[in-house]
Structure 1
Amino acid sequence: MRRRGNGGGAGREVGPGTAVTPSAEFPPLDQEELGALRRLGEHWRVPPDGAAPDPARLPLDPTIERSRAEPLPGHFGRLAPIAMFTAAEPGELVATEPANIPGTRAGRALSRCRRALFGPPLTSAAVLYERMRKLVALPVLSSDLLSSVAYGPEAMLAVLVLAGSGALGLSLPLVAVLAVLMVAVGLSYRQTVVAYPHGAGSYVVALDNLGVRPGLAAAAGLMVDYVLTVAVSVAAGVHAVTSALPGLARYTVPFGLLTILVLLAGNLRGVRAAGNLFVWPTYAFLLALLAVLLVGYVRAGARGFAPLPPPPVPATEGLGLLLVLRAFASGAVSMTGIEAVSNAVPAFRPPEWRNARTTLSWMVGMLVVLFIGLTVLIHLSGLVPTPERTLLSQLARATFPTGPWFALVQAATALILLLAANTAFNGFPRLLFFMARAGHAPRRFLHMGDRLAFSNGLVALAVTAGVVFLVFRGRTEALIPLYAVGVFLAFTLSQSGMVVHWHRRRDRGWRRRAAINALGAFLSGLVLVTAAITKFTEGAWAVVVAVPLLVLLALAIHRHYRRLQRSLALHPPPDGRRPGPALTAVPLPGAAEPGAPAEAQELPQQVRHLVVVPVARLNRASLRALAYAASLRQPTLAVHIAPEDPEADRFREQWEAWGDHVRLETIVSPYRTSIGPLAHYLEALHASRPDVLLTVVVPEVVVRGPWQRLLHSRAEHRLRRALRALPGVVVTSLPVHLSD
């Protein structure tokens, strides 16, 4: 029989080597927990009056084997027909189709629309086929990195031009330094991919080598970067569209939000479907830029590569070191997205690390060529940033003054900028997956949706980025200052962690590898400090504040899961000590010696029961609840809440007429409330005997339509909410369906 993982151990620390599979939601028990489970099993026995766990004594066949001649269940046949199960092995059934169609007509229509939009659900085994080959992974994971060259050089030149058009010549030495930074960080992440082939990049590297808080700081920086990647990319794409079509400028915000929704829908279809959907815009943009560079350099060569004089621009700031550092930090935003491959290594086809490393090399090579080529060509063309038109738009018009090529370049640029956010849609959910696996993020982010995508993470990213885009009204210049701090914080911590990693391993060639990572850490740290200082008042303060808050939130989540793990951990009796004799019925609380607290009882013979049935009036629903409680063969108590003494007397007379088969306790509530007095009464019962498990059986009338719920008080739901925080109390709803 196959070995299956178990679902215990909420918040357990899981090493970085765990694979990204749908089973990650159910981590297996470790050896200590298995030992505790075996010891508990040795003490497990059913009380004498209980039903033995013998499959032959079950009132039905759990394998659901029935003749094909028998009709399928009527009302619930459309939810889970018997024919949808097949027997895989003894004790196991396999669902042959996803039976998640809601029972209402509107719900079924919504489910059909969802399937038409996102595609049919995929089986868990299909996760192996949802991986990307290199030709698909390259455009999918590099769309953010390559698209940033459309606004990175402009961001750098927009700072330099503050010192006048004469300062634009400094762009050439700055672009050389930035190219060194790109190569150094790229080589560093190549080593990260090999050392950590299971993904998560900066977070896992920093967590594994520098500690919990540096790891969470790297994760927080990446989370901020991914959100801003979506907001900035969409804002830049919308700006490119409005540069070509100024009449659409007033629709910037709706157009941007619609783009985010399209990206969300495309990624909810799954990794492979999203890759096939977004692959061509990246290649089209790459070809468009190569055409601009080729034609532009041919024309520059015809005049001997003599730069054209830029139009005179008056200086508004003095040229100094601070201005140059601001320009350097602004140009460094072109590197955002370089870590995407290290986060998504498991999304590649085998061998994952080799394909990921090759893809990263191509990405960095194309980034360096495009960034240097565009910056130098802008310098040779004598162009300066203007609020009306982007530099890339000006360069395309200067390169292709006639013909349709300018429009094609603009269309490709707008499309890649709009879809560049897809890189964040790949990285953000995977980062949350690894954080949730370690207990630093809600465990719902471990879940894979119908299409084997991390749906919860995708929705969280889309909503957060949409809010940021809306707050900043889609203005690229307002979002850019927030951009560099988070990502370069992750870069710095990741590369510093890799230095520690190589120093610990000290295998062959470790000094060379550590030196490469140390260089990447130094240069990334330089950009981080520069961006944090020079752009602090322009908006970077928000990221400086957000990162520590996210770290504190992650630590609080981890503390909660650790507390949950301690509460749910198995605590078997010590070796050689048997539990006390099996306990049978207890007449009422206080009639027996107290034992273990109700929530510490893990063996059947430890459990003491008291079944409580709230009875408002004697009708079919309440009598059915009383019959159900009595059939459990446990001590039973009925409780009636009366608004005044005469009504309490009348109810006791009715109870005696029924036969007084169950002990009745009447509570008079002169303020006419029922939930509060009942909850306090149950709390008092529990306080008097914490070792008694109170099972509250509440009859619940099930209505057909949503509008009919307004005709009922739904007191059972309010009672369940009131008792949720009370330990040792179980609330059981007994549905009573309305007859036709």
Structure 2
Amino acid sequence: MWTKLKRMLIGRPLKSNESHSQKLNKFKALAVLSSDALSSVAYGPEQILIVLMAAGSTALWFSLPIAIGVLVLLIALVLSYRQIIFAYPQGGGAYMVAKENLGTNFGLTAGGALLVDYILTVAVSISAGTDAITSAFPSLHQHSVTVAVVIVVIITLLNLRGLTDSATLLSYPVYFFVLMMLVVIGGGLFAAITGHTAPIHPHPSIGTPVMGVGLFLLLRAFSSGCSALTGVEAISNAIPSFKEPAPKNAARTLLMMGGILAVLLAGIVYLSYWYGVHPSSDQTVLSQLAGTLFGRNLFYYIIQVSTALILILAANTGYSAFPLLAFNLAKDKYMPRPFKVRGDRLGYSNGIITLGALSILLIIIFKGRTENLIPLYAVGVFIPFSLSQTGMIVHWLKKRPRAWVGKLVINLIGALICYMILAIFFLTKFPQIWPVLVFVPIVIFIFHKIHEHYMLVAEQLRIDFSEPLPTIHASDNVIVVPVAGITKVVEQSLTYAKSLSDNVIAVYVGDSPEAIEKMNKEWEDWNPGVRLITLHSLYRSIVSPLDKFISTVKYKADQRGATVTVVFPQFYTAKWWQSLLHNQSGVLIKATLIRNKDVVIATVPYHFKK
């Protein structure tokens, strides 16, 4: 039943040689990997206006030079990550760049910050989309957490079906949103030129002096507007997901994403200025623009639906990039090995499921109100931005390829702007972003503990090829068979044990002298040709007396270089619910021995027919 449900939800398993079918072309990759960056058009310009409005509506003209500053940073980041794609075609983005050029801890800082940021991306995006849904259907407001969790589960299942399946389905809403935004910008510019549509409020002239506007306020507005750049790095993390030639296709996709984002961002900021849009608590900037240009008709609601969809689907960038980044960290032994394993549909299923589960946990903890996480979300991505830029500066200084000076300048400009934005974040929003100073060191500590464990395991498992294998006679090995009575299961286990060695011991643990006496008599009457050892348990425990007995046997066997094998008789019921009617003492004994003893564990199964 579980297998049928899994096949229905996820699809048939794919063969390893079908991996080429899960590679993305440029247009599907653009939709899947750019949804986070493109969705920021829905809130990035608004963040600029909110900060400027503190100085009054006449200060809103500063949104234009601030938007130009954001576009300059966008160009620097796109050009920089394009260089990273060709320099590090195996993927990994900021993690690989920082690790190889700045050192392991810087790489782990970038990797840890990005992993946390992708979790926040999913939680924040889904919560924002849920807010849009509950605004349209107020009756769902009290169930907003449930709605958000259901959406996360659906997107998780879509991604478990594989990249091409999720990309095919999710590309339509992304391109639909881009089309709607182009319609809004085109219609707004046409109305501005022809004068057909009156502004909401008169817009201030560019250059109008404004009291109370200082450098601090402008830098704060600039840093808020830079939230529109989250997700730019995702393509460089996911290069292996592209069709060949992967680096070239990834670079072209990055340029397309940067171009679309620049047009949409510049267009929305300019129209917001021209039509005198003021940020409002009950209506977004996009909503005001659409309502002014087209009226509150069906087309207006189509634009709102496209915005809600892109906010929800922004989460998919996290699902595309998180598993690949986790794979790179696991490959370097800084994350658990299961993150390297491909699932039935050739995706890194453990990374996808982990991201979904952690996002759901975050949504539940914050009850779907993740507004306070947005500053963390923004600063979390600018840490790897800054480290990747710095790493590329070191990379060019080391390698010095042809035309390296121009490439160095691009990264230098990007690094200076990114560090400036980080400094502004910490100066202006420290009460909201201080947790990053706690989370990231904890994540790095966990990475190091995982790596230390793997190094210790490798050291203990390493073989010295100069030493020959020890020679042990099979007759020296000891086989211990715990028995609870005389049954067909025990008979089968003893037969198997005797095939391994002549030195077989059956062990019975009784809770009273009468039980032990009865067992000895029945064993003598049966006479299976195996010695029976009986143990009296004063406290009715089977595990403790058996554990002590095996320790004694193991000590004696070690002295002569022999092996101790414990053979467990285990019966399995015909139906799953029938197993609940039997005790699980065998499972407890095996768990204890596996945890505490260097003995071989063997299970002899006996399946009931009815």
TM-score (norm 2): 0.93
Q: Distance in 2 between matches of 1:696 and 1:580?
A: 21
Query: What secondary structure sits across from 1:724 in the alignment?
Result: helix
Q: Counterparts in 2 of 1:14-33, with a 5 A limit?
A: none
Q: What residue in structure 2 maps to residue 693 of structure 1?
A: 563
Residues 614-625 of structure 1: pairs in structure 2 closer than 5 A:
614-625=482-493
Return closer, same or farther for 1:466/1:647 CA change in 2, 3 Å cut-off.
closer
Offset, 1:518: 2.1
Q: Which piece of structure 1 moves more, 467-476 or 477-486? A: 467-476
Does residue 547 of the first structure (1) align with residue 426 of the second (2)?
no
Q: Which amino acid aligns with 2:81?
A: Y
What is the aligned counterpart of 1:253 among 145, 161, 170?
Answer: 145
Q: Distance in 1 between matches of 2:380 and 2:309?
A: 25
Conserved 8 A contact 1:310-1:384: no
* C-alpha displacement of 1:246: 5.0
Cα distance in structure 2, aligned partners of 1:466 and 1:303? 48
Distance verdict in 2 for CA 1:404–1:736, change over 3 Å: closer
Deviation at 1:582, TM superposition (A): 5.2
Cα shift readout 1:120-171 (whole Å, capped 9, x = no counterpart): 2211111012111112111221111111111111122222223332332322
SS at match of 1:701: strand
Task: Choose 485-494 or 667-676, whichever is displaced more.
Answer: 667-676
Alpha-carbon deviation of 1:473? 3.1
Which residue does the alignment assign to 1:708? 578
Q: Distance in 1 between matches of 2:583 and 2:54?
A: 68
Partner of 1:101: none
The residue type paired with residue 712 of structure 1 is: H
**1:612-651 to 2 correspondence within 5 Å?**
612-651=480-519
- Cα distance in 2 for partners of 1:662, 1:614 equals 12
Q: Which position in structure 1 is the counterpart of 2:224? A: 330
Greater Cα offset, 561-570 or 711-720:
561-570
SS state of the match for residue 736, structure 1? strand
Q: Residue 305 of structure 1 contacts residue 380 of structure 1 at CA under 8 Å; is this kept in 2?
A: no
What's the counterpart of residue 361 of structure 1? Answer: 255
Measured in 1, the distance between the counterparts of 2:5 and 2:500 equals 45
CA distance in 1, matches of 2:17, 2:197: 58
Higher helix proportion: 2
The structural deviation recorded for 1:364 is 0.8
Q: Deviations over 1:375-418 (max 9, x none)?
A: 12101111111111111111111111264321221121111111
Kept in 2, the 8 Å contact 1:498–1:514? The answer is yes
Q: How does 1:272-421 map to 2 (within 5 A)?
A: 272-303=164-195, 309=201, 319-401=213-295, 403-421=297-315
Q: Which residue of 1 aligns with 2:24?
A: 132
Q: Name structure 1 gaps, 5 residues minimum.
A: 1-106, 587-608
Q: Give the length in aligned residue pairs.
A: 602
**Residue in 2 that maps onto 1:43:** none
Is contact 2:200-2:292 (8 Å) kept?
A: no
The equivalent residue for 1:30 is none
Q: Distance in 1 between matches of 2:139 and 2:188?
A: 29
Separation in structure 1 between the aligned mates of residue 273 and residue 470 of structure 2, nearest angstrom: 87
Aligned to 2:590: 720
Residue pairs, 1:553-632, within 5 angstroms: 553-574=446-467, 583-586=473-476, 609-632=477-500
Query: 1:477 and 1:738 mapped to 2: Cα distance?
Result: 57
Q: Which amino acid aligns with 1:120?
A: R
Contact 1:644–1:669 (CA<8 Å) still a contact in 2?
A: yes
Instruction: Show CA shifts across 1:646-674 (max 9, x none).
Output: 43344333333344733333222122211
Q: Say if 1:500 and 1:114 are closer, same or farther in 2 by CA, change over 3 A.
A: same
Which string of whole-angstrom CA distances, capped at 9 and with x for unpartnered residues, describes residues 552-587 of structure 1? Answer: 11111111111222222222234xxx566654523x
Seen in structure 2, the aligned counterparts of structure 1 residues 580 and 350 have a Cα distance that, compared at 3 Å, is closer
Q: CA offset at residue 304 of structure 1?
A: 11
CA distance in 2: counterparts of 1:260 and 1:621, whole angstroms:
47
Aligned to 2:111: 219
2:67 to 172, 175, 199: 175
When residues 646 and 487 of structure 1 are mapped into structure 2, their CA distance, relative to the original with a 3 A threshold, is same
**Kept after mapping to 2: 8 A contact 1:441/1:554:** yes
Q: Flag the 1:549–1:128 CA change in 2: closer, same or farther, 3 A.
A: same
Answer yes or no: is the 8 Å Cα contact 1:439–1:557 preserved in 2. yes
**Contact 1:220 / 1:486 at 8 angstroms: preserved in 2?**
no
Match for residue 681 of structure 1 among 549, 554, 565: 549
Tell me if the contact between 2:127 and 2:368 (Cα under 8 Å) persists in the aligned partners.
Answer: yes
Mark the CA change 1:237 to 1:657 in structure 2 (over 3 Å): closer, same or farther.
closer
Show the counterpart of 2:208. none
Aligned to 1:467: 361
Structure 2 alignment gaps of length 5 or more: 205-210
Partner of residue 424, structure 1: 318
Question: Does the Cα contact within 8 Å between 2:478 and 2:501 map onto a contact in 1?
Answer: no
Return the letter of the residue paired with 2:308: A
Secondary structure at 1:439's aligned position in 2? coil
Shift of 1:639: 1.8
Cα distance in 1 between the residues matched to 2:222 and 2:361:
29
What is the aligned partner in structure 2 of residue 52 from structure 1? none
**1:36-47 matches, cutoff 5 A:** none
User: How does 1:109-128 map onto structure 2 within 5 Å?
Assistant: 110-128=2-20
SS in 2 for 1:685: helix
Mapped to 1, the partners of 2:90 and 2:604 lie a distance apart of: 47
CA distance in 2: counterparts of 1:676 and 1:336, whole angstroms: 57
Distance 2:516 2:142 in 1: 69
Residue 305 (structure 1) shift = 12
Q: Contact conserved, 2:203 with 2:275, CA < 8 A, in 1? A: no
Q: 1:38-187 to 2 correspondence within 5 Å? A: 107=1, 110-187=2-79
Q: Distance in 2 between matches of 1:125 and 1:196?
A: 25
**Can you list the C-alpha shifts for 1:421-467, whole angstroms capped at 9, x where unaligned?**
11111001111111111111111111211111211111111111122
Check 1:310–1:585 CA distance in 2 against 1; reply closer, same or farther (3 A cut): farther
Contact 2:134 2:141 in 1 (8 A): yes
- Aligned CA RMSD, in angstroms, stands at 2.4
1:215-243 deviation digits (Å, cap 9, x = unpaired): 11111111111111112222222333445
Aligned mates of 2:142, 2:281 — CA distance in 1: 16
- Is the contact made by 2:99 and 2:105 (CA closer than 8 Å) also made in structure 1? yes
- Residue aligning to 1:90: none
CA shift digits 1:262-297 (9 cap, x unpaired): 211211111111111011111111111111111111
In structure 2, what is the Cα distance between the partners aligned to 1:200 and 1:652?
66
Amino acid in structure 2 at the alignment position of 1:616: A
The answer to whether the Cα contact below 8 Å between 1:449 and 1:455 also exists between their aligned partners in 2 is yes
Say if 1:692 and 1:165 are closer, same or farther in 2 by CA, change over 3 A. farther
